[in-house]
Amino acid sequence: MASKRRQRSKLDILSPTVKLINLAKKGPYYSLAIIICLAAIFAQGVDAYVYKEKIYRGVQINNVDFSGLSKIQATAKLNNIYKKDYLKPVKITYQSKKWTYNPSEYGFKVNINKTVQKALDIAKTDSLAKNLWQRISTVFRPINIESINSIDEEKLEDFIASIKGLHDKPCTDAKLIIKEGKPTVVKGIKGYGLNKRKCYLSLIEKTLSIDKKELSATPEKLVPEITQAQAKKLIPEAKQMISDDLVYSYKNRKWKLDTDQLKYFFKTRKELKDDNYVLIAGFYKDELIPMIRSQVTDLIKRPVDARFEVINTKVNIIPSQDGLDLDDEATLISLEKTAKLKKNRRTQLVFKSILPQRSTQKAESMGIKERISTFTTYYPAGQSRVTNIHLLGDILNGKLVPPGDTFSFNGYVGQRTAERGFVKAPEIRNGTHVDAIGGGLCQVATTVYNAILEGGYDVTERQNHSLFVSRYPTGRDATVSWDEPDLKFINDTDYYILIQTAYDATSITISFYSTNIGRKVKFKTVFLGTIPYPVQGQKDPTLEVGQQKISKQGIAGKKYNVTRYIYDKSGKLLSSEVFESIYQPEAQIISLGSKPKPKAKEKDKKKAKSNKG
């Protein structure tokens, strides 16, 4: 069938040409007309070819010209306008007061890809006549299309409701309430103030403008959007809704809303349909749905993500589980619809499946299969820093690094604070030992760094300790602090990396799991020399003047280069990189006596004089 439709369309295209040839035989005027028509057809054909992969001339997006741009160019341009102009705050003035509307705070977003495609589709439809008309139209005036946007409407409406002036008088809609068991109309009241609907539209318009981001709103007479007549019309429907009990069920369980409850939960709401507001008879969602949820708590299940289970050096995937939750909207609609029936006032609660964020299929596609690298460092037991080491291990355990992403130690771990459970412990800072919240985290950073090196991953940021630490591999330590220095690497493979940690009283182990791509790593450590330590003197009141002693032995600084060589499966060298480490010397401290020497006794002085005589 499809091939026959294509054949007919070709004949349809050729038939006008055949007719023109027949007309040409009738005389010169016909011939001239034919030439003009053929020229127009040819021009349109050339035009269509030129703009085949581009936005047609005269096409605008939110009144900005996008003529002749390719999909990539248009996407980049619209993205730039979105960031530069659409997210700018709009300043609102109303009755001498000022407010500021920040689009990003209200979830404003532009679907850039769909908007650009919408522009690309102009003059490229299945209808030749429509295409021709759109092309001709752009000669006389541009075709402007509006971007495809999304925003938190409820939040924006709440913001607009907060814009009030001193002279405002509230305008209230007519509504229907249950009073003394009967549907009763409450009259609407005219008001004076801000037209909220107009303000809403103006704010969206200003958001999508590249001009001045200022909106001056003026008060006006306000008329209820829901009239008394509309409310009165709903009385028969309201009577029906509260006329008899309503039963709802799920599987083999049943519940009932009696007439008193139906009267209590009854509420009308305003909805916008075809640019006009209508009044809907329904139930008070914010009270009815929570009550129903309390009745089905045991039926609601959270989804469970697929998990990774490490057994020795291999990884097994524990399957994900879908969750189950009450569909609030569908349940409310079902209850309201059933309540408006005279008979068979029974309905089913509506539940929906909640998919896990990481399904079994997704987990399988991540390529986390086997251990790629592992490293262990050691520390004395019982110290305060061990608390921090174990806490960091818990935070890092199970973290995932996607392909192409940069792992940042600070980014993945976050700031170390007492509120998060970190305690004070010794750390090296600027060549000195100090106590600080989170002390000991460099033990974990060093362990992670070595797992990175062993895995052959691309290190983009690393700094060694200012002082040499003998318990770490020579030249292969890493220091971190908030918010710098940091430890970073790029996952330069096509597979996710799973970070697993294990610790006990005296050691911590960091392991990376992914897909083995056959990289092999070797290291060469070269000692480059020492840095002489400085000698510093300090007064010591316990020593007599002229006496001195070494109170702290100096330690020379050191320089090392560690070269990492990465080979492929066949043993071919892929790359080599040198990591330099310079450790500062620790000054030698000499105590210099500052205590005055004792004075000789008077007799001793005389005796000394007589001896001299």
Q: How far apart are CA 45 and CA 434, in angstroms?
A: 78
Q: At what angle do helices 28-50 and 2-24 cross, to 10 degrees?
A: 140
Do 234-363 and 518-613 share a fold?
no
Q: Provide the pLDDT confidence category of residue 441 given band limits of 50, 70 and 90.
A: confident
Q: Give yes or no for residue 107 having a pLDDT over 60.
A: yes
pLDDT reported for residue 515 = 96
Structure token digits, residue 324: 């189950």
Task: Answer whether 496's CB lies under 8 Å from 483's CB.
Answer: no
Q: Provide the pLDDT confidence category of residue 122 given band limits of 50, 70 and 90.
A: confident
| Other C-beta atoms lying within 10 Å of the C-beta of residue 3 | 7
Residue-wise pLDDT tens digits, 335-352: 999 999 999 999 999 999
pLDDT reported for residue 33 = 58
Q: In the CATH hierarchy, which fold is given to the domain comprising 234-363? A: Ubiquitin-like (UB roll) (3.10.20)
Task: Answer whether 59's CB lies under 8 Å from 70's CB.
Answer: no
Q: How far apart are CA 116 and CA 590, in angstroms?
A: 74
pLDDT reported for residue 525 = 95
Mean pLDDT of the chain: 88
Backbone φ and ψ for 156, nearest 5 degrees, come out as -65, -40
Q: Provide the pLDDT confidence category of residue 38 given band limits of 50, 70 and 90.
A: low
DSSP letter string, 25-47: TT-HHHHHHHHHHHHHHHHHHHH
In the chain, what percentage of residues exceed pLDDT 70? Answer: 87
Smallest CA-to-CA distance from 317 within 372, 365, 371 is with 365
pLDDT reported for residue 546 = 84
Residue-wise pLDDT tens digits, 541-577: 988 888 889 988 988 999 999 999 999 999 999 999 9
Q: Give yes or no for residue 427 having a pLDDT over 80.
A: no
Q: Both ends of the chain: CA-CA distance in Å? A: 142
pLDDT reported for residue 101 = 95
pLDDT reported for residue 4 = 41
Q: Provide the pLDDT confidence category of residue 5 given band limits of 50, 70 and 90.
A: very low
Of 107-116, 366-375, 548-557, least confident by mean pLDDT is 548-557
Structure token digits, residue 300: 């609601």
Q: Provide the pLDDT confidence category of residue 330 given band limits of 50, 70 and 90.
A: very high
Backbone φ and ψ for 546, nearest 5 degrees, come out as 100, -20
| Other C-beta atoms lying within 10 Å of the C-beta of residue 607 | 12
Count of residues for the chain? Answer: 613
Residue-wise pLDDT tens digits, 458-475: 999 999 988 888 889 999
Q: Give yes or no for residue 521 having a pLDDT over 90.
A: yes
Q: Give yes or no for residue 182 having a pLDDT over 70.
A: yes
pLDDT reported for residue 355 = 96
pLDDT reported for residue 9 = 47
Residue-wise pLDDT tens digits, 570-608: 999 999 999 999 999 988 999 888 888 887 655 555 555
- Among all chains, which residue has been given the structure tokens 């520390």? 379
Listed in sequence order, the residues at least 6 apart from 391 whose beta carbon sits closer than 8 Å to its beta carbon are: 420, 421, 422
Of 29-33, 102-106, 305-309, 476-480, least confident by mean pLDDT is 29-33
Q: Provide the pLDDT confidence category of residue 437 given band limits of 50, 70 and 90.
A: confident
Which helix (H) or strand (E) segment holds residue 314: the answer is strand 314-318
Q: How far apart are CA 525 and CA 453, in angstroms?
A: 13
Q: How far apart are CA 351 and CA 250, in angstroms?
A: 9
- Regarding the domain with residue range 518-613, which homologous superfamily does it belong to in the CATH classification? Resuscitation-promoting factor rpfb. (2.20.230.10)
Smallest CA-to-CA distance from 532 within 575, 581, 472, 585 is with 585
Q: Provide the pLDDT confidence category of residue 143 given band limits of 50, 70 and 90.
A: confident
Residue-wise pLDDT tens digits, 202-261: 999 999 998 889 999 999 999 999 999 999 999 999 999 999 999 999 999 999 999 999
pLDDT reported for residue 423 = 87
- Amino acid occupying residue 601: K
What are the Cα distances from residue 61, in Å, to 72, 104, 328, 438? 15, 20, 37, 52
Q: Please report, for the chain, the start and end positions of each structural domain, with discontinuous segments joined by +.
A: 7-50, 234-363, 366-514, 518-613
In the chain, what percentage of residues exceed pLDDT 90? Answer: 67
pLDDT reported for residue 29 = 57
pLDDT reported for residue 444 = 93
What are the Cα distances from residue 231, in Å, to 261, 431, 448? 22, 78, 68
Q: Give yes or no for residue 41 having a pLDDT over 80.
A: no
SS3 of residue 542 by DSSP:
strand
Residue-wise pLDDT tens digits, 148-169: 999 999 999 999 999 999 889 9
- Tell me what the mean pLDDT of segment 364-378 comes to: 96
- Tell me what the mean pLDDT of segment 411-425 comes to: 88
Q: How much is the pTM? A: 0.66
| Other C-beta atoms lying within 10 Å of the C-beta of residue 83 | 10
Residue-wise pLDDT tens digits, 258-292: 999 999 999 999 998 888 899 999 999 999 999 99
